[in-house]
Structures are given as structure tokens and as C-alpha cells.
């Protein structure tokens, strides 16, 4: 259960010195004992959670009674005395478009005391819910059943390039793909605080939508790019696909996590772009043809949206900067920050120091990256700091088991020294080494199953310059040929990082700078593997040194000095079941630090039986001060088949904003429940074996909603939406 070691870990997570903190009686570890008064010093009473926790105030027999039968809710559950109000939901008008689907990252920019701009990411389409609800929410019908039937006849082989302009299939694909792209990207909306403390949307001059097709119909709306990739996009001759747009970029999509700069702009991370466009690139950084990521719709999956529009895959997977206060300023994709499945961005801007940006690649075996600007910050709040993104270098992390690590620069002269497959043998798990393809006239990667094969690769390619040769003179416009070479490396950052021996990590989904220490907090969502990669079990292993641990961790990382090449790291929280060595939550995803310095976390539990035991996704508070410091408190649980994302706060600390993403994603629209929660079609029974605080197993019967009706109510289709959570009294969130 939640023993003294775990309490110490959470105090370390919050940057509290364990030695001094544990001298205070209020912070003595509880071990397995029941707290005499578990509510003392807490800012709220935690919401019901489906698992026994050491700090739930119950003895073993009380836990067995309390948790033997439970019913999960299809709604946002918050503590007594709080309320959650919907601020914006999918389909509502916004700027020159609509509020998009599957809202993710949120950024709050104040416009005075009671008015603000809320910047929102729209990540992807949950095909089943989107299709079932589209006509009701948007007010027009799409030919989705006919399209799925026609594509089914083709068995997934869409001959897009040979379809005639008047072919009905072509028209259906364009209609559906255009509608889906309108629901992706970034939005800025104006919100106002009402007299009762609630927040409402109000149309404002800053309201704006950047969609997946911004600039398709109007070239003036295209996105810009900074840094070396700009020259790659402008090559006159290339190995791969040319979209004919030069350095112009159509739209942004797969916008997941993000971050705010001290000077008021917002960074939006393009994560799973590979679902919509081809990810693989050639040695010169040019894109694979759009046909390598064909359009797909089968009722459950809607992907390959870039193919009907001929989008070049190398223009997606970037960090996008948007200025919420300047609607006329085009968003910029900053290529010095690298192209990969971007999640997690944390910005450190200190006077007289380089600008540092940390980011992660959310995939099994993805890496942790750091950008360091060439010039230094003069004033952290100066809007001119955006220019610092335009010149610098990108580094990738290599972790050592002793808690040390180093940043490796992704540059032409960096040696090739990939991880050997034999490294994984001691953990009893197979893992091939994935590297840029040996045939440099081909895009993508190649797998190497033996150390001998990797050695032969290293003999042929000794530095990144050998893998990404500079184009010849006269082949590019604008900058020097060496910039195109750097651009190719940055465009293929994940494979380049594999080649130089970066550590394969456990899906880094968020990064936050601890304002007290300047350390970096990193949420690694899950350790394990898929067909593309594996987290290194030497760094990412379970409490009993399991090679695969699906429940995640939070790490604290400290550079030895600003922009130094060495760092120290330590795990400070482990997800998982309490009786298996975890903290009780699963799959930490987004992190946020409130104005008082407390850490908040939302979860994104994985599918399958290992994840379902944790129930609906949740939002947790880890107080940094007071009697409850270091104690994980469940603040809210999410609607059925959804997750919370993008936690952010108003400056007064009175409101927590959360995005509710993909409600009902697995089972769609929930059947109208009858009087009994277990009505057929509305819920299903699930059975789990749990453990009480004495370590004794007991059985739990759990009623789980099938699908969702949130937020509209029974029988209605679910809709992704943003909620504002506040105290009904109008006090700050954490006032006791």
C-alpha cells in the first residue's frame, strides 16, 4: 500500500526535502496505518475512487465493504462544494469556423481581471462518435455509410490518383476529409467570468481557428516555418515528393499537448501526425508520397486525411507557435525544435541565459529532447523572444542507470553509436535496433536484430553527415547547403536520435518546469513496447524490475547548469496498483502547477484489463505544502470512455480548466439507462480481485457505463468539451 517509501517519493516529486520535511509531525509517513483523521488539513474531500488507497481512512474490513460493489459515473465528478460548468463544446461557432473535436491542451491568457483568451488544441477524430453525432451537432449530413461501404468493396485500396474528378467516390472522400480537417487544429476563444464566478464564452476580436486545411483555399492563411527545414521545403531537386508550395504549409493537425511562453505566445504540439500523412522521409528530408498514408474510413477509423489534398508529410510533426493576441500573425512551425511525435513542451527563459525548450516524442521508444537557443534571453517577457526559436541546436537525452545523463547534439558531426539489440537480452525481451534505412535512396527505417548487423551499419555510416549528406551546390534556394543538411536531420529527428544512441523512453507525454527549483518534471505514461519500439527497461522498469510496466512514472531531471551537457535524474512517482508497488493512479499524462505551486496531474489509462481496473480517468492533486503535502488526492473523475487533458488555471487560482476528450470513444452513444444502473445496453458488470490494506484479496463487482451521453444527457450523443471547475462559494480552489 502507500508506505513511507512512496510518501518520500511524492515529497521528492514536489521538490520537498525529505529529511527536513519528515521532521515535522504533520508529514510523518503513515506506512500501512490508517490515519486517525484522514481529512485533516486537506483542501477538499477526495472524490470516490474505485480502488482501496492507503489514505482513504478505512481499515481492512471497511475497505472490503466499501469497495465490494461500485458503480462508475458517466459525468465529471468533483468534490462536494465544487461544480464543473461546460464552457465550450464541439460544433459551436468559433471565429471563422467551429470549436473542434477532441479538445486537448488549454492555455489561459488573461485580458484583465475577468476576461481571458483560451487557446485550445483539437487533436484527432474518434470516428464512431464523430459519425454518429455529426448530423445532430453540425446540422448537415455526411455520406459516411455509403463511403464506408464503397471503400469496403475496394478492400482498403483507394486508387486516389486515378479517380476521375466527377467520380462519386472522389466527391465523398473530399467531403468527409474536409469536414474532419475542419475539426482539427487550434482555436482561440474569448471567455468572461460572470458575477456568480462561472465562465462563459463571448465572441471577441481575438477569436480564431487554425484548421487542418488553413491555407488550402486561401494562400494568405498558410502557416510559416522557421529554421533549417525551410530550405528543405524549398529544394529545387529532391529525392521525394514535392507539394509545389515551397516553404508554405497547409494547416496543422494532431495538436495534442502544448505550453505557454513567458511572453504570452502558445506552443502547440503536433503529435500523432503519422495517422494522417506519411511519416517516413528521404535522406534529404523530403517527404514520402501521400499514397504511403492512404485515406481510410471503415466506421471505426478515419485516417489518411492528408492524401486527398496531397499534403507533404515532412511539414507535420512540428511545434507550432501561435500568438493569441495577434490573430493576423501566421502560426509558425519552428523546425529547430525537431520533427517527431511531439508531446510535452516546457520552456525555461532566464535572463542572460539561452532559451531552453524541453519536449518529448510520445511513442514507445520515443526520446526526450532539448532545444538551446544560440542567443540569450534579455527579458523573459519580451515578445521579441520568439526570434530565439529561429537559431540554436537540438539535443536528445541519453540516460545512465546511475542517475546521470547527457544531452547529445543532433548535428552532422555527431557519431553513430546506436543501442545494440543485446542490451535487451538481460531483461528477457527482444528488441531490434531501428535505424535510418541503409539504402539512402529509400525513405524510412530498417530493423537490425543482431549486434553484428549494427556494427556493419556503423562501419558504413560513422556520423549523421553520412546518413544525411548535404545537397549539392545549386540545388537549393536561399540559405547555404549546410542548412538543408541540418534541416534533413531535424525532419528525421526520431531516427537520427536512434542512430546517435539516445535512450528509448516510456512515452514522455508532458514536461513542466518546477518554478521553485527549475528542475524538469516529466510524465512518462507507459513502459512497454509495440511494433515500432520499446522503452529501455534499464531505466523504465516496474517496482519489482519488470521489463514492461504499463502504468507509468514521473521523473525529476536537473541540468548540472543552464544549457550544460550533463544532467541528473530520478524517478519520483510510480503509477500502478498500491498492492503491486504503485501509487494508485495509472498512466500520468498532463501535468500542471497551480499559482500556489501545487502539482496537478491527469491520467490517460491504457486499454485492456490492466488499465480498466483503475476505472474512469482521473485528475489528482499533489499538495506541495500543508499537512497533506505529498499525499495524492483524487480531485475529479472523467465521463465514461474519456480522459481529462490540458489542465490550466486562472491567475487567482479560483478555476481549474480541463478538456474532456473522446467521451464514449469505445461504445459510442450510451443507451438510455433505466432505473437500475445495470440496465441492458447501458452498463456492463465487471469483476476484479483487489487487495485490502492488510494484503488480503477480495472481489469487487463493478457496474461500468457502456458509451457516454456527456454532457448533453440521456440518449444524446457525447461531445468533447471544456469544463471550468470552481468552488460554489467563490473561494480559491484549495482554500481549506
- Residue 627 has what pLDDT? 84
- Residue 697 has what pLDDT? 97
Burial class (CB in 10 A: 0-12, 13-18, 19+), 401: exposed
Question: What is this structure's pTM?
Answer: 0.94
**Mean pLDDT of the region 129-150:** 97
- Residue 673 has what pLDDT? 72
Which position has the higher pLDDT, 28 or 574? 574
Q: Which of 114, 45, 504, 442 is nearest to 283 (CA)?
A: 442
Q: How far apart are alpha carbons 524 and 562 in whole angstroms?
A: 23
Separation in Å, CA 108 to CA 116, 191, 358, 428: 7, 10, 20, 46
Residue 470: pLDDT over 90: no
Q: How far apart are alpha carbons 294 and 312 in whole angstroms?
A: 13
Q: How far apart are alpha carbons 104 and 345 in whole angstroms?
A: 14
Peptide bond just before 335 cis, omega within 30 deg: no
Residue 704: pLDDT over 80: yes
Show the cell assigned to 503: 535512450
**Mean pLDDT of the region 619-645:** 93
- Residue 643 has what pLDDT? 97
- Residue 32 has what pLDDT? 26
pLDDT tens-place string over residues 327-381:
999 999 999 999 999 998 999 999 999 999 999 999 999 999 999 999 999 999 9
Of the pLDDT bands very low, low, confident and very high (cuts 50, 70, 90), residue 157 is confident
Of the pLDDT bands very low, low, confident and very high (cuts 50, 70, 90), residue 644 is very high
CB 177 within 8 A of CB 305: yes
CB 324 within 8 A of CB 107: yes
- Residue 1 has what pLDDT? 39
Q: Which of 406, 376, 707, 713 is nearest to 557 (CA)?
A: 406
- Say whether 360 sits in a helix, a strand or coil: strand
pLDDT tens-place string over residues 519-534:
999 999 999 998 889 9
pLDDT tens-place string over residues 51-74:
999 889 999 999 999 999 999 999
What's the chain's average pLDDT?
92
Residues 150/155/157/163 CA torsion (nearest 10 deg): -20
Percent share of the chain, pLDDT over 90: 86
- Residue 39 has what pLDDT? 63
pLDDT tens-place string over residues 622-632:
998 888 888 89
**Mean pLDDT of the region 657-667:** 97
- Residue 675 has what pLDDT? 58
Of the pLDDT bands very low, low, confident and very high (cuts 50, 70, 90), residue 609 is low
Residue 3: pLDDT over 80: no
Q: How far apart are alpha carbons 363 and 590 in whole angstroms?
A: 15
Q: How far apart are alpha carbons 508 and 525 in whole angstroms?
A: 6
CB 346 within 8 A of CB 259: yes
**Mean pLDDT of the region 236-259:** 97
**Mean pLDDT of the region 639-644:** 97
Residue 188: pLDDT over 70: yes
Alpha helices in 43-108 (DSSP H): 60-67
Of the pLDDT bands very low, low, confident and very high (cuts 50, 70, 90), residue 477 is very low
Q: How far apart are alpha carbons 230 and 237 in whole angstroms?
A: 14
Percent share of the chain, pLDDT over 70: 92
- Residue 630 has what pLDDT? 80
Mean pLDDT is lowest, of 19-28, 159-168, 291-300, 550-559, for 19-28
Separation in Å, CA 557 to CA 269, 327, 405, 561: 21, 36, 9, 12
- Residue 17 has what pLDDT? 53
Of the pLDDT bands very low, low, confident and very high (cuts 50, 70, 90), residue 21 is very low
Amino acid at each position: 500500500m502507500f508506505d513511507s517509501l512512496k510518501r518520500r517519493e511524492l515529497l521528492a516529486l514536489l521538490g520537498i526535502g525529505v529529511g527536513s520535511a519528515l521532521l515535522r509531525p504533520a508529514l510523518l509517513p503513515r506506512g500501512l496505518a490508517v490515519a486517525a483523521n484522514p481529512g485533516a488539513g486537506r483542501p477538499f474531500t477526495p472524490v470516490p475512487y474505485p480502488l482501496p488507497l492507503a489514505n482513504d481512512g478505512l481499515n481492512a474490513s471497511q475497505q472490503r465493504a466499501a469497495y465490494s460493489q461500485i458503480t462508475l459515473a458517466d459525468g465529471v465528478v468533483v468534490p462536494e462544494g465544487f461544480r464543473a460548468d461546460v464552457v465550450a463544446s464541439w460544433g459551436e461557432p468559433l471565429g471563422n469556423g467551429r470549436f473542434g473535436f477532441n479538445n486537448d491542451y488549454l492555455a489561459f491568457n488573461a485580458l484583465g481581471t475577468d476576461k481571458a483568451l483560451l487557446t485550445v488544441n483539437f487533436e484527432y477524430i474518434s470516428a464512431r462518435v464523430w459519425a454518429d453525432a455529426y448530423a445532430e451537432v453540425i446540422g448537415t449530413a455526411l455520406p459516411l455509410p455509403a463511403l464506408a461501404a464503397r471503400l469496403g468493396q475496394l478492400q482498403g485500396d483507394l486508387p486516389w490518383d486515378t479517380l476521375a474528378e466527377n467520380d462519386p467516390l472522389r466527391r465523398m472522400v473530399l467531403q468527409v476529409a474536409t469536414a474532419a480537417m475542419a475539426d482539427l487544429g487550434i482555436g482561440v476563444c474569448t471567455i468572461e467570468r460572470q458575477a456568480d464566478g462561472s465562465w462563459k464564452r463571448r465572441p471577441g476580436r481575438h477569436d480564431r481557428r487554425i484548421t487542418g486545411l488553413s491555407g488550402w483555399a486561401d494562400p494568405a492563411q498558410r502557416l510559416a516555418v522557421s529554421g533549417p527545414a525551410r530550405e528543405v521545403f524549398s529544394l529545387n531537386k529532391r529525392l521525394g515528393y514535392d507539394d509545389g508550395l515551397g516553404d508554405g504549409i497547409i494547416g496543422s493537425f494532431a495538436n495534442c499537448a502544448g505550453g505557454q511562453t513567458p511572453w504570452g505566445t502558445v506552443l502547440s504540439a503536433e503529435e500523432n501526425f503519422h495517422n494522417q500523412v506519411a511519416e517516413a522521409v528521404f535522406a534529404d528530408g523530403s517527404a514520402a508520397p501521400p499514397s504511403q498514408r492512404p485515406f481510410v474510413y471503415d466506421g471505426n477509423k478515419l485516417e489518411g486525411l492528408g492524401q486527398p489534398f496531397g499534403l507533404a508529410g515532412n511539414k507535420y510533426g512540428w511545434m507550432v507557435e501561435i500568438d493569441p493576441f495577434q490573430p493576423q500573425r501566421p502560426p509558425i512551425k519552428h523546425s529547430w525544435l525537431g520533427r517527431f511525435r511531439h508531446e510535452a513542451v516546457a520552456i525555461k527563459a532566464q535572463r542572460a541565459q539561452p532559451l531552453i525548450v524541453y519536449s518529448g516524442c510520445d511513442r514507445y521508444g520515443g526520446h526526450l529532447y532539448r532545444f538551446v537557443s544560440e542567443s540569450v534571453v534579455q527579458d523573459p517577457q519580451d515578445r521579441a523572444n520568439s526570434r530565439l526559436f529561429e537559431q540554436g541546436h537540438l539535443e536528445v537525452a541519453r540516460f545512465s542507470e546511475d542517475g546521470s545523463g547527457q544531452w547529445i547534439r543532433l548535428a552532422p558531426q555527431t557519431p553513430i553509436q546506436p543501442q545494440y539489440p543485446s542490451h535487451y537480452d538481460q531483461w528477457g525481451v527482444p528488441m531490434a535496433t531501428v535505424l535510418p534505412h541503409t539504402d539512402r535512396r529509400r525513405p524510412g527505417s530498417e530493423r537490425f536484430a543482431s549486434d553484428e548487423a549494427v556494427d556493419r551499419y556503423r562501419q558504413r555510416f560513422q556520423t549523421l553527415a553520412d546518413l544525411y549528406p548535404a545537397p549539392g551546390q545549386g540545388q537549393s534556394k536561399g540559405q547555404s547547403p549546410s542548412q538543408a543538411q541540418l534541416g534533413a536531420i531535424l525532419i528525421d529527428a526520431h531516427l537520427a536520435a536512434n542512430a546517435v544512441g539516445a535512450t528509448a523512453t516510456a512515452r514522455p507525454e508532458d514536461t513542466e518546469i518546477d518554478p521553485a527549483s527549475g528542475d524538469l518534471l516529466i510524465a512518462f505514461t507507459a513502459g512497454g513496447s509495440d511494433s515500432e519500439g520499446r522503452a529501455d527497461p534499464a531505466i523504465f522498469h516496474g517496482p519489482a524490475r519488470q521489463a514492461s510496466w504499463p502504468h507509468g512514472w514521473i521523473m525529476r531531471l536537473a541540468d548540472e547548469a543552464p544549457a550544460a551537457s550533463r544532467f541528473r535524474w530520478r524517478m519520483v512517482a510510480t503509477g500502478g496498483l498500491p498492492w503491486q508497488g504503485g501509487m494508485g493512479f495509472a498512466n500520468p499524462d498532463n501535468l500542471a502547477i497551480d499559482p500556489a505551486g501545487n502539482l496537478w496531474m491527469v491520467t490517460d489509462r491504457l486499454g485492456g484489463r490492466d488499465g480498466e481496473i483503475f476505472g474512469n480517468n482521473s485528475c489528482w492533486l499533489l499538495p506541495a505544502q500543508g499537512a497533506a503535502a505529498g499525499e495524492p488526492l483524487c480531485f475529479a473523475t472523467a465521463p465514461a470512455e474519456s480522459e481529462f487533458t490540458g489542465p490550466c488555471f486562472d491567475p487567482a487560482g479560483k478555476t481549474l480548466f480541463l478538456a474532456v476528450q473522446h467521451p464514449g470513444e469505445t461504445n459510442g452513444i450510451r443507451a438510455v439507462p433505466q432505473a437500475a444502473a445495470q440496465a441492458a445496453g447501458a452498463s456492463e458488470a465487471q469483476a476484479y480481485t483487489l487487495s485490502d490494506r492488510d494484503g488480503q484479496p477480495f472481489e469487487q463487482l463493478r457496474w461500468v457505463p457502456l458509451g457516454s451521453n456527456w454532457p448533453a444527457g440521456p440518449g444524446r450523443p457525447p461531445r468533447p468539451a471544456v469544463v471550468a471547475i470552481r468552488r460554489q462559494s467563490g473561494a480559491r480552489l484549495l482554500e481549506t
